Amino acid sequence: MLAIDVKDLRKQFNVQKNREGLSGALKDLFKREYNEVTAVKDISFQIPEGEICGYIGENGAGKSTTIKMLTGILVPTSGHIKVNGFIPYKDREKFVGGIGVVFGQRSQLWWDIGVIESFQLLRKVYRVSEQDFRKRLNELVERLQLGDLLNRPVRKLSLGQRMRCELVASLLHNPSILFLDEPTIGLDIVVKTEIRDFLMQMNKEQGTTILLTTHDLQDIEALCSRVIMLDDGRIIYDGGLDELKNRWSKGREIQFQFARHTPIEKLKQLTESLDVTWTPENDVTAKMWLPHAVNVSDALARVVGGVEIRDIKIFETNTDDIVRGIYQSGSAAVSKETSQS
Ligand SMILES: Nc1ncnc2c1ncn2[C@@H]1O[C@H](COP(=O)(O)OP(=O)(O)OP(=O)(O)O)[C@@H](O)[C@H]1O
């Protein structure tokens, strides 16, 4: 079954214009003028149950606006949304029981009271029985190592501790879909890794569907098999992470460490008919850059067959570089080509 089904979804905001000077302000008092901002422009996608999908794009691309529509916070200007079989902004009461939401930049916990008291309030909001709540809380507290934190007020927690509590808060009612908007923002690498491991395990064991917006491409690499990329309110890529890398990464680089001094001319000779580029690093190491069209094992076989090698390292273009490249290459032109091919 589909966890999320979106068709031709659009959101427009009317933003009030402020005219200049005193006379402008007076005019604004009597007759307001508005600019239309279209944050999301007729997007369509479907996410099956159990998938972890990355939703990425530059600042202002329309990610948060989409998440807000999917979670029922905003009403779309046009288009259709079904999440867990519900229309989020219409069926709110039934709908919220099946979803969890974490906005990395905002808290759903009460600042001045103990964490456990916030959890108890949420238990009541979501109408979870005391027995189910205890069971679920114990599991989550153990997994995310929150034991010592439960009685502290939220304002006394570090960002990493608070984010782990936010995750627990969003999962107390055992939702089948989790929306995460920048869940690892500002966290150190240890906490990021803990959170990624936790999400991965939860998805594996319980089949939780996760839609994740992030600027941290390591999150995507660690968690998502699929990526939807937005640019200026439109989807410019929807597909596998590997495909994204293959399509957009320009090539690979292989670093060779040779047993003895190997002149670059000799290496060029060995790979003569291949479209590769050699860069010497020192007497015994050199790098070979090869585009995707060149088969890695062909290239390796030529070199290995001709000179003695101590070590080899293969470097893939990382996802950061790929995404930057897509944006720089002019998204509108890319969008058609990418979505049609
Ligand atoms: N309530 C609002 N009123 C007017 N314009 C808005 C509103 N919310 C968002 N926008 C505009 O819609 C566009 C998309 O914003 P959105 O917050 O969805 O982007 P985003 O991809 O989440 O960006 P970021 O990564 O910075 O969070 C932006 O131009 C933003 O200024």
How confident is the model over 228-232, as a mean pLDDT? 90
Whole-number Å distance between alpha carbons of 262 and 308: 9
Note the pLDDT of residue 338.
41
37 lines ligand 1 (CB under 6 A): yes
Cα–ligand 1 centroid distance for 236 (angstroms): 18
β-strand partners of 2: 48
- The overall average pLDDT reported for the chain is 88
Cα–ligand 1 centroid distance for 231 (angstroms): 12
Cα–ligand 1 centroid distance for 272 (angstroms): 52
Q: Which atom of ligand 1 is nearest to the CA of 66?
A: 18
Nearest CA to ligand 1 atom 18: 62
How confident is the model over 303-319, as a mean pLDDT? 87
H/E/C letters for each residue in the chain? CEEEEEEEEEEEEEEECCCCHHHHHHHHHHCCCEEEEEEEEEEEEEEECCCEEEEEECCCCCHHHHHHHHCCCCCCCEEEEEECCECCCCCHHHHHCCEEEEECCCCCCCCCCEHHHHHHHHHHHCCCCHHHHHHHHHHHHHHCCCHHHCCCEHHHCCHHHHHHHHHHHHHCCCCCEEEEECCCCCCCHHHHHHHHHHHHHHHHHHCCEEEEECCCHHHHHHHCCEEEEEECCEEEEEEEHHHHHHHHCCEEEEEEEECCCCCHHHHHHHCCCCCCEEEECCCCEEEEEEECCCCHHHHHHHHHHHCCEEEEEEEECCHHHHHHHHHHCCHHHHHHHHHHC
pLDDT band at 330 (very low <50, low <70, confident <90, very high): low
Q: Where in the chain is the domain with CATH 3.40.50.300?
A: 2-8+45-246
Note the pLDDT of residue 279.
93
Cα–ligand 1 centroid distance for 216 (angstroms): 19
Q: What is the C-alpha R_g of the chain?
A: 25
pLDDT band at 213 (very low <50, low <70, confident <90, very high): very high
Closest CA to 235 of 46, 12, 3: 46
pLDDT over threshold 80, residue 19: no
Q: Which of 64, 106, 211 to mutate to test the pocket of ligand 1 (most atoms within 8 A of CB)?
A: 64
123 lines ligand 1 (CB under 6 A): no
pLDDT band at 339 (very low <50, low <70, confident <90, very high): very low
Q: Which amino acid makes up residue 340?
A: Q
Note the pLDDT of residue 340.
37
pLDDT band at 102 (very low <50, low <70, confident <90, very high): very high
pLDDT in tens, 29-41: 777 778 899 999 9
pLDDT in tens, 156-212: 988 888 989 999 999 999 999 999 998 888 888 888 998 999 999 999 999 999 999
Cα–ligand 1 centroid distance for 144 (angstroms): 32
User: The domain 2-8+45-246: what is its CATH number?
Assistant: 3.40.50.300
Q: Which of 18, 36, 37, 184 to mutate to test the pocket of ligand 1 (most atoms within 8 A of CB)?
A: 37
Q: And the tokens for 253? A: 């680089």
Cα–ligand 1 centroid distance for 237 (angstroms): 20
Q: Which atom of ligand 1 is nearest to the CA of 40?
A: 14
pLDDT band at 121 (very low <50, low <70, confident <90, very high): very high
Residues 6 and 43 sit within 8 Å (Cβ to Cβ): yes
Q: How far apart are the first and last CA of the chain?
A: 26
Classify 251-316 by CATH class: alpha beta
104 lines ligand 1 (CB under 6 A): no
105 lines ligand 1 (CB under 6 A): no
Cα–ligand 1 centroid distance for 239 (angstroms): 24
60 lines ligand 1 (CB under 6 A): yes
**Range from 192-196, 211-215, 291-295 carrying the lowest mean pLDDT:** 291-295
Whole-number Å distance between alpha carbons of 142 and 169: 14
Is residue 255 helix, strand or coil? strand
Q: Where in the chain is the domain with CATH 3.30.70.1150?
A: 251-316
